[in-house]
Structure 1
Amino acid sequence: MDSSGGPPLCFPSLNSSCRRLPLPRFETALLYILLASVSLLTVTLNLLVIISISHFRQLHTPTNTLLLSLAVSDLVVGLLVMPIEGLRYMETCWLLGRLMCALTPYVSYCLLSASLGNMVLISIDRYLAICDPLRYSSKITLNRVKILISLCWICSIIYNGLILMDHLGWSKRFSSCHGECVVVISHISGTVDLFITFVGPCTVMVILYMRVFVVAVSQVRVIRLQTAATALTAAPTAKKERKAARTLGIVIAVFLMCFCPYYYPSLAGEDTSNSLSYFAVLSWIMLMNSCVNPLIYALFYPWFRKAIKLIFTLRILQPHSQEVKIL
């Protein structure tokens, strides 16, 4: 029991317990309301994306399948990662036990890597759609995309198991007391991870979208100059592809802005650890991306707004609602 008159213990029955640094009640209540709201909004919006793409047959395209995979990742972030990370920082104690201490960082890292992989696949998809439209449908099929998404998730699970092998095997290695969950990735491992899961994929995405932008601008000029009937027929399709590329370009730009700060410790030559004083800020900037993505869809995708109306009016429960024209 704590009899020193200092801050209360995380686990009063244990002498080896960490000290709890409680926040004022009003501030704690406000933070819990904010956490619950953000988490619920993230889950709801991404669930709407998943239902929309899964239900309406017209949305069963390779590009939307990639968005579906990204939405699944964001949904898990809102359902599990956000509440657990919020609990950690508001209670200033790790209350979920050793097993969850080992698994939570692993799940978070897997979601991070899978999201990056999905973004790269989306960039490649848009690049081929804009730069090689005649062969796009033969190169990018639904089955091939599903295989690539599966490989992306499998590689993420294996890779992060290797990166966090020490933590998974000995989760309390860096914990100084009971009620603490410290994850430390050495500077060397963090630097390797920086290049494999961030610098490399981001470089690919930026190069591909620069190429897409150049080709899209040239296509606009060609369509404006040509007056043949074939050109007029192709114009709506080309315009649609460019709009999709622009929207997904915004998604990737926001993604990079949210994820770049997370890699600051590696860039600064430090070990990456959740015990760093500023790590909570970096972590939550990254996590907020999972809530922002579906908001971007709502702003720029008419099909998503139409799907939401059909879902909330329960018209998706009607017979043959899967065949509704939504594009």
Structure 2
Amino acid sequence: MQGGCGEKKRGPWTGSLLQRRRRRAEVTMKKLTINEIAERAGVSKTTVSFYLNGKTNKMSDETKRRIQHIIDETGYEPNAAARAMKAKSSGMIGVILGDLADPYSCQALKGLEDAAGSQNIQVMVAGSGMNFNSEKEIVERMLKMGAEGFIIQSTYRFGMMAGSLEKKRRPIVYLDAKPYDYRGRCVKSNHYECVYQVITECIGKGYEDFMMFSDDFSTSSTGFESMQGYKDALQDAVRDGGTFYMAEGRRSGDVYEVLSQNLNLERRTLIYVADPPLYQVVYQALRRYPDYMELLKGRVGLIGFDCDGWTRMTTPPLAAIITPAYQEGVKAAEELMDILDGKKAEGDVVFKNIVKYRESVN
């Protein structure tokens, strides 16, 4: 007869149940986070937040099943301290973009609003016109309205304000453009490297002359990076290139006048457009040439930044540098929410632009 310490007979499911309970206890002691659930389920943090907040209408059944399986297996519950902190907060962040009508801003704003909304964070939005004085006024107004942090597409001078916001414990995540002396977190694309590569490859394609059109937002670090990539690629290849700045309100007739005076149709010329809205204006200017279709398929190359996909629908389809603006917006919001949750983050989060060589570059 066995004593009290003898092995008891187990049911067919007892071992696996005990193992699941043990795993659940171990994970619960470690205070599983949303990030860890996302990693285990193979989805993004935003997707998990959407699920936890009941916003699953655009989510596949398989994704919902994976997330729920992790929650069931681990016994996950939102951290009580985090819930208390959020209950005391205003639940609002401020977003300041250069131009709200700009294609990049529209896509980025949609991304950050989706990410913030997944965690029930409200977004206050304003456009600065890439003007430092406007930035100051907007920040003060948003602070009075309860903004707990900021996502800013900033001018170079904004660093003068960043220190005072740090003292007020109002964190900043820079989006696309950052100040000259910035510290903290910035979400951006690899504009310099991408433009440098494009110009270098186009030199290899046999283009002889180069023209760059840009807006006059000289206060944006993004403009500096893309312009410097263009200049450095030409300098390293011992080539010359023209740079033409177009003021706000520019029209295709203004660009056509510049082209008429500077475009040599006897030589293969690449036209690079650094500003997304300006790209459409330059394209319309080229359409004024009677034989523009032949020009764009031979003597004249055209490429620029496109954030909303219009270049693939033109005749002929235009080459484009595509910035993942929506994804940048999502990431900027996630970074700011992480900082507000007490996670320190510094440095750049860099996305890669996508280059599409279509019929206008050959």
Per the normalisation by structure 2, the TM-score is: 0.23
Larger radius of gyration: 2
1 or 2, which has the higher strand percentage?
2
1 or 2, which has the higher helix percentage?
1
Per the normalisation by structure 1, the TM-score is: 0.25
